[in-house]
């Protein structure tokens, strides 16, 4: 057996037969290792706890068991030991807990009843509510309102992300009628915010394990957990971008969408059909977009990059500098990641879906709350505001007056050939429109054709669709009910 393969197998089974050093009882260790050196080792990354990457420094931060660390030492690899175990639990002090999130969302809905409505989008493994807030002006509106989704904390230990989502809520509600742009957005858009996708895991972070990432899926009476951001059906278990080991931090779950938290997000996205989404994670200071598997083509990649660049220009990093967040897909910047919410949202519903990984290696998952909470959320505002502003501008905006369900495919003219806008198979099922009969897609300049189908009326048509400049300009298609 080749040496490299032997090492991978040893890591996968966590060195069950390897000699364990005398200090094994001290628990996991955190190390920094050169990114290029890590790639050359060709380790099975889905089975290793890769905390984040510092791209300017060229370093990856890993959390390794004593057995894994012993294996690394046997390979004569240079690394730096960062922290010994038993980080005090007060490292998460100040950050919102699940019950506090729900309380704050309800208070916001009560205090701003003209703008906000609390929604419970599902229940967790431990029967906790997954709360969301719908934010929009209640003023009379004669055209559809495109929806934008912000979600946080798929991963329990990423405690700063919830604070970013709650800051979005506070800024939109408190600045309405005061800030002209906020007033314009809420008059013309519908914003949805889910501050904690994974409240069960977060409760575990606060109670017993600062580095817990997954939900609290239980097997034979023991909490094993599923990585919710490897549990979505699109691309599930397709490119070694997740793990089949229960103990792995990227365990994908027994089946696609097996977890109630994942299903809650799937149902929400299907029901509201958002135009765009930001899923906040930490840490690494990067902006990701589909797809998560190496070699998978994203035909709208130029559009994703152009919008990511707008956000990049406005986000300020932990050193106080703007324009430094790296852009790309997961395999371009980090590793393969399959079964993610980004891939699901874009492929299933044409959502312009992004992940923003906030905070740096120096701050990690648990930045000092007093020092970094307000500073971080303030520095992130430019990113989500840039997305809302872009959604408000050039887009294909079509609305059908029918009460019947409408299905569509969108084609773009590229190099003289009509191709599906999302790169999908022309034989695949049609996409469905939003419940209000609206199609809203910020797109690149170009020529587009809409193929729509209304089964109950026997209508099947192709029409050229223009790109409108503002939110008030919609192409209305009247059909007979």
How many Å is the Cα radius of gyration of the chain? 23
Most distant pair of Cα atoms in the chain: their distance: 78
Q: What is the pLDDT of residue 461?
A: 95
pLDDT in tens, 194-229: 999 999 999 999 999 999 999 999 999 999 999 999
24: pLDDT strictly greater than 50: no
Q: How far is CA 106 from CA 8, 112, 130, 428, in A?
A: 48, 10, 12, 41
248: pLDDT strictly greater than 90: yes
Could you count the other beta carbons within 10 Å of the beta carbon of residue 393? 12
Confidence of residue 481 (pLDDT cuts 50, 70, 90): low
Nearest to 353 by CA among 404, 402, 308: 308
Does the bond joining 275 to the residue before it have cis omega, within 30 degrees of 0? no
Residues found in the chain: 481
25: pLDDT strictly greater than 80: no
> What's the whole-number mean pLDDT along residues 290-307?
94
Q: How far apart are CA 153 and CA 151, in angstroms?
A: 7
pTM of the full predicted structure?
A: 0.92
Q: Which sign, positive or negative, has the C-alpha torsion 293, 294, 298, 303? A: positive
Nearest to 230 by CA among 355, 383, 106, 71: 355
> What's the whole-number mean pLDDT along residues 107-113?
97
164: pLDDT strictly greater than 70: yes
476: pLDDT strictly greater than 80: yes
Euclidean distance between the first and final Cα of the chain, in Å?
A: 68
- DSSP calls for 328-387: E-HHHHT----S-HHHHHHHHH--EEEEEEES-TTTTTS--HHHHHHHHHHHHHHHHHHH
Helix, strand, coil percentages, rounded to 5, for the chain: 30, 25, 45
85: pLDDT strictly greater than 70: no
Indicate the helix (H) or strand (E) that contains 148. strand 147-152
pLDDT, mean over the chain? 90
Residue 277 and residue 132 in contact, taking contact as beta carbons nearer than 8 Å:
no
According to the CATH classification, is domain 396-477 in 2.60.40? yes
Q: What is the pLDDT of residue 434?
A: 87
CATH topology assigned to domain 92-391 = Aminopeptidase (3.40.630)
Q: How far apart are CA 150 and CA 116, in angstroms?
A: 15
Residue 431 and residue 409 in contact, taking contact as beta carbons nearer than 8 Å:
yes
Q: How far is CA 91 from CA 27, 29, 165, 174, 245, in A?
A: 18, 17, 20, 30, 28
Q: Flag the least confident range among 11-15, 220-224, 469-473.
A: 11-15
Q: Give the residue ranges of DSSP H helices in 83-220.
A: 98-111, 159-175, 180-188, 199-207
Place of tokens 């501050």: 195
Place of tokens 């809203």: 440
Cβ neighbourhood burial of 234 (10 Å; 0-12, 13-18, 19+): buried
Confidence of residue 467 (pLDDT cuts 50, 70, 90): very high
Could you count the other beta carbons within 10 Å of the beta carbon of residue 386? 19
pLDDT in tens, 300-358: 999 999 999 999 999 999 999 999 999 999 999 989 999 999 999 999 999 999 999 99
Joined together, the tokens standing for residue 256 give 């696609």
84: pLDDT strictly greater than 60: no
Q: What is the pLDDT of residue 120?
A: 98
Cβ neighbourhood burial of 133 (10 Å; 0-12, 13-18, 19+): buried
Residue 410 and residue 365 in contact, taking contact as beta carbons nearer than 8 Å:
no
* CATH hierarchy code of domain 3-86: 3.30.70
Q: How far apart are CA 140 and CA 340, in angstroms?
A: 37
239: pLDDT strictly greater than 90: yes
Instruction: Give residues with Cβ within 8 angstroms of 434, minimum separation 6.
Output: 144, 147, 272, 273, 440
pLDDT in tens, 36-64: 888 888 667 778 899 999 999 999 999 99
Instruction: Give residues with Cβ within 8 angstroms of 425, minimum separation 6.
Output: none
Instruction: Give residues with Cβ within 8 angstroms of 170, minimum separation 6.
Output: 108
Q: How far apart are CA 409 and CA 432, in angstroms?
A: 9
pLDDT in tens, 383-426: 999 999 999 999 999 999 988 889 999 998 888 888 888 777 77
Do the strands 80-83 and 190-194 form a parallel or antiparallel pair, or are they unpaired? unpaired
Give the start-to-end residue ranges of the domains of the chain.
Answer: 3-86, 92-391, 396-477
Q: How far is CA 47 from CA 2, 9, 254, in A?
A: 20, 10, 16
């Amino acid at each position: 057996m080749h040496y490299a393969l032997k090492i991978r197998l040893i890591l996968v089974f966590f060195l069950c037969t390897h000699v364990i050093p005398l200090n094994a009882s001290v628990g996991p260790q955190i190390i920094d290792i050169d990114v290029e050196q890590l790639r050359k080792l060709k380790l099975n990354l889905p089975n290793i706890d890769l905390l984040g990457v510092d791209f300017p420094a060229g370093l990856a931060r890993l959390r390794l068991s004593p057995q894994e660390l012993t294996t690394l030492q046997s390979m004569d690899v240079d690394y730096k030991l960062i922290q010994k175990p038993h980080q005090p639990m007060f490292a998460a002090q100040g950050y919102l807990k699940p019950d506090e999130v729900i309380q704050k969302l309800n208070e916001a809905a009560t205090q701003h009843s003209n703008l906000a409505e609390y929604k419970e989008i599902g229940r967790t493994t431990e029967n906790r509510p997954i709360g969301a807030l719908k934010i929009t002006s209640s003023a009379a509106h004669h055209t559809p309102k495109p929806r934008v989704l912000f979600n946080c904390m798929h991963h329990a230990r990423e405690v700063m992300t919830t604070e970013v989502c709650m800051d979005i809520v506070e800024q939109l509600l408190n600045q309405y009628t005061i800030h002209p742009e906020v007033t314009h957005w809420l008059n013309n858009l519908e914003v949805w915010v889910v501050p904690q996708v994974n409240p069960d895991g977060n409760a575990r972070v606060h109670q017993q394990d600062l580095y817990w990432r997954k939900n609290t899926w239980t097997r034979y009476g023991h909490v094993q957990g599923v990585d919710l951001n490897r549990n979505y059906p699109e691309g599930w278990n397709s490119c070694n971008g997740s793990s089949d080991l229960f103990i792995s931090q990227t365990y994908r779950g027994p089946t696609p969408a097996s977890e109630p938290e994942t299903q809650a997000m799937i149902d929400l996205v299907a029901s509201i059909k958002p135009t765009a989404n930001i899923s906040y994670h930490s840490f690494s200071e990067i902006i990701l977009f589909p797809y998560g598997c190496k070699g998978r083509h994203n035909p709208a990649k130029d559009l994703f990059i152009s919008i990511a660049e707008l956000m990049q220009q406005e986000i300020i990093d932990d050193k106080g500098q703007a324009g430094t967040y790296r852009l790309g897909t997961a395999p371009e910047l980090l590793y393969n990641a399959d079964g993610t919410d980004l891939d699901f949202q874009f492929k299933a519903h044409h959502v312009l879906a992004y992940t923003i990984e906030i905070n740096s290696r120096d701050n990690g998952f648990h930045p000092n709350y007093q020092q970094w909470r307000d500073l971080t959320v303030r520095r992130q505002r430019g990113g989500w505001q840039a997305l809302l502003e872009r959604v408000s501008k050039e887009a294909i905006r079509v609305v059908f007056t029918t009460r019947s369900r409408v299905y569509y495919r969108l084609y773009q003219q590229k190099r003289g050939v009509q191709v599906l806008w999302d790169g999908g198979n022309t034989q695949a099922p049609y996409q469905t429109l939003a419940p209000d009969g609206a199609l809203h897609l910020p797109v690149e300049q170009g020529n587009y054709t809409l193929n729509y189908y209304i089964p109950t009326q026997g209508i099947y048509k192709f029409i050229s669709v223009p790109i409108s400049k503002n939110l008030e300009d919609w192409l209305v298609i009247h059909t007979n009910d």
